[in-house]
Structure 1
Amino acid sequence: MIIVEAHRALKHAGTQATLYVVRGRYWFTDGRNTFIPPLSPHFGGLWEAAVKSFKHHLVRAVGYAVLTYEQLETCVVEIEAILNSRPISPLSSDPNYLRPLTPGHFLIGGPLTNFPQENLLELKPARLSLWQHAQQMRQHFWRRWHKEYINGLNARSKWNSTAPNIKVGTLAILKDNSMTDTSPMLWNMCRVIETHSGRDGIVRVVTVKTANGMYKRCVTKLCPLPTDVSDPDSATP
C-alpha cells in the first residue's frame, strides 16, 4: 500500500519517480544498517510473509528430490523472479496500457521477463535432464503459488453489505487457468472497457480488453488492482 499511495500522490508520474520517492522516504540512507532482533520474524511481517509463501510451496514442489547445487540455485533464483513479478498496482491510467507495477521495478527498474518453456508438468522426472527437472519444479511452484495469490486477492466475505461496482478503466488480473498454469510469470492482465449491470444496478458482467483481444467475463473472474487507497469506491468487489 506504500507503493500505491506514493504512485497516486505523484499522479502517475512514472516508475522511476515512484521508486525515487519510496526509496528516499522508507530506505535507510544514514549509512547504518538496521536489523530486526534475533528470533523475532514478526518484526518484518510483510517480507516474512513472502518468505513463508516461498518455503511453503518450494517444499511441495521439490518434494523428496535430491538436487545438485546448480539445480537448487537455478530453482530458487527463478522462484524469486516469480514472486517479484506479481502485480501491485497500475502504472498508468491509459486504457491501452496493461502493464502493472511489480516488485521487479524496484530491483531492475522494469518488469521481470522469462523465456517460453515447454510444458513439463506431466512428464516423469526420470526422463528429464537436470535443466528440465529444474524447469518442471518451477512450473509446479508457479501452478500452486499463483492460484493461491489470485484467490487471496479475490477473497469474498459474507454478503452482509453491498460492495461497490467495478468501474470502467480498472486494471485487473483475469483468472484463466488454461493460459497461465504452464507459463510462469505470465500474468493475464486486462482492462475493463465496459460494464453490464442488471435490473438492480449491480454489475456482474464486464467486457475486458487483454493483449489477445476483448472478452466478456463475470466479475468473479477478475482481481482488480488497487488504484487509490483513499477512495472507498476503489475497493475490490
Structure 2
Amino acid sequence: MSKSDTRELRRFWELESLGITEESNTIDSLAFPQDTKFDWTLGRYMVDLPWRHGCWPQSNGFSQCLERLKRLRARLQDDSQLLKEYDDIFKKQLEDNIIERVETNEYDVRYHYLPHHGVIREDKQTTRLRIVFDGSAKEPNQLSKLSYWDGPEFLTKPSEIWPHMPTKLNTELAETERIQKPPVISITHSLVSSQNSHECCLNIEAIMDVSRYRSLLKLMKVTGLVLKFISVLKNRQAKGPNILDAKDLRQAEDVWVTSIQLNSFPDERSKLVSGEVVVYRSQLMLFLSEEGLIRCTGRLNEANLPSHMKNPVLLPTRHPFTELIIEDRHHSVKHNGIQETLALIRENFWIVKGREAVKKVLRKCVVCKRYEGKPYPTPMIADLPAERPTKESEEVVKLYVCLFTCASTRALHLEVVQDLSAPTFLQAFRRFCGRRGLPSTMMSDNAKTFKASAVEVQKSLTRRARYQYQLLKSFVRQWQRDYLLSLRERAINHGSQKNLMIKEGDIVVLKEDCTARCLWKLAKIVELITGRDGRTRAAKVQLLSKDKVTTIRRPVQNLVPLEVN
C-alpha cells in the first residue's frame, strides 16, 4: 500500500466515515491530503493557514473584530448558560495550546485578527455549541483581499529578510508538539486475494480502538467496511455497495484475532512460524492453522465434532476483544450463568484462564445483577441495648399457674396468670381454647374464681343467644319481604316440547349429567306423581339393572321420551 493510500485510510478512520468519497479534480480536494498532517502524539490534525498568492490584507482586522465582539457579547448577555459555554470553549483551547493570548494593540502589524461566532445545534448532546472563525470577513467600505493559499508577499522573498515575530512558547513545549512520523501500516496480502501469509498481517488495533464498541456485531460490521475500503484502495476499483455478508464478517473476525494474537502472543507465534515447540503453553498443544491463526488441540481429534470445536482459537485473558466475545456469548445463552457462557465460548475460542475472564465480565452484567445479585453485606452487629446488660430489679412478683388436665389422655396444659380474678381466668381459658380447641365438658374444684367465671360465661352465652335470636328474626323478616314476596309470578315455559304429555307406559331414557348420553339407561314409566295442583312433576320408572327390575323415582325433566308409540 502506498503512502497516499495509508493517508486516505487514516483520514477515513479518524473522520469515522464508513463510505468512500468520490475523487474530485478541484484544487481543494487535492490540497487537503497534501497540506494536512496528523499528529499521532497529540491525537489531532495539524494544518497551516493557506494564503492566496500576491494578496495581503490592507488592515489587521482589529477594529472590525472588536466591534463584532461587542455585538456578540451583547447577544450572549441574555443567555448566561450559553455565555458560560462560549467562555469555557476558549479556556479549553488556551489550555490545549490551540490558541494563544496576545497583547491587545490595534496598530500591531505582527498579528491579524479574525472575528468569530457560535453555531448552535440543538440536536447534538455533546457538542451543542461550536465556535466558527470568519476568515472571509470584510472591512467596512473595503473589499476583502484576505486569502489562504499562497500566503503573504514576503514569503516569496529570501528567509533572511522575513519579519521577526517572537513567540511565547518555549523550546521544550515546541519540541513536544513536533509532528511525529506516522507509523507504517502493513497489510496482509490475504485481505484482497486468496493467498495466505503467516509473516504479515493487518495490525487492525493500530487503526481501530476496540474499546469504543460495546457490541461484537457492530465491531465486525465496521471492520468489514474498513476491509472493503482497503480492498478498493488496493485494487483501484470503483466503490461497491456497503453490503456485508457472512464471509465478510468471518474475515473481519479473523483479522482481529490475528492482530490480537500477534500482539498478545508474539513469542509463541514466532516459534510456531519457525517450527519450534512452544514449551510455555505445552499443555494447550498450540499450532498455526492454514488461516494463520494460533489454535489449540487436545484429545478430541477423533471426536465427531466440527474442526473449530476440536481446535479452538487462542485468545488472551485481558483484552477488550475478549470481553466483547464473552458478552456476545453471554447474551446468546440468555444470561444463563458462567458455565453455559464458557461452554458456548469454547466452541470457537479458548481463552487463557477462561473461567476467571468470564467471571470478571459477568460481574458487570446489569441483567444478572438484577436477578441474581446479592444484597449489601450485613453490618457489624450492634451493641446490646441498655436494658440487657443492666442488672435486673430484685423485686419479687407473685404469679399463679392455671392447670388444665385432659380426663381422657391425662395431657397437661399450663397458663401463667397474674391473679385469681375471673377476667384473668377467662383470658387464660380463651388462650387454652385457641391452642387446644373447645372442650365438650369442663369440671373444676368449685373455687370462687371458677364459679365467678362460670357466671360470667353464662351471662355471655345468654347475651350471645339473644343476639343470635334477634339476628335470625331480622334475617327471616328480610327474607320474607325481599325474596318470598317476589315468588308470586310463575315462570312460563316457552319450550318447543310443550305439547308432549307424559303418561304411564311411556318408554323413556334416564338423563344423567355425569354420564355420556350413549350410556343412559332405558326405563318405563309405571306411575305418575302429581302435586296438589294436579300437575305431574315426577314419576316412578322401572329399569333393568343387573338382571333385576328396579323401580326408582325421577323428576320429569330428567326423563327423555323416545316417542315410539
- Settle same-fold status: TM greater than 0.5: no
TM-score when scaled to structure 2?
0.13
Q: Higher RCO, 1 or 2 (CA under 8 Å, sep at least 6)?
A: 1
TM-score when scaled to structure 1?
0.25
Larger radius of gyration: 2
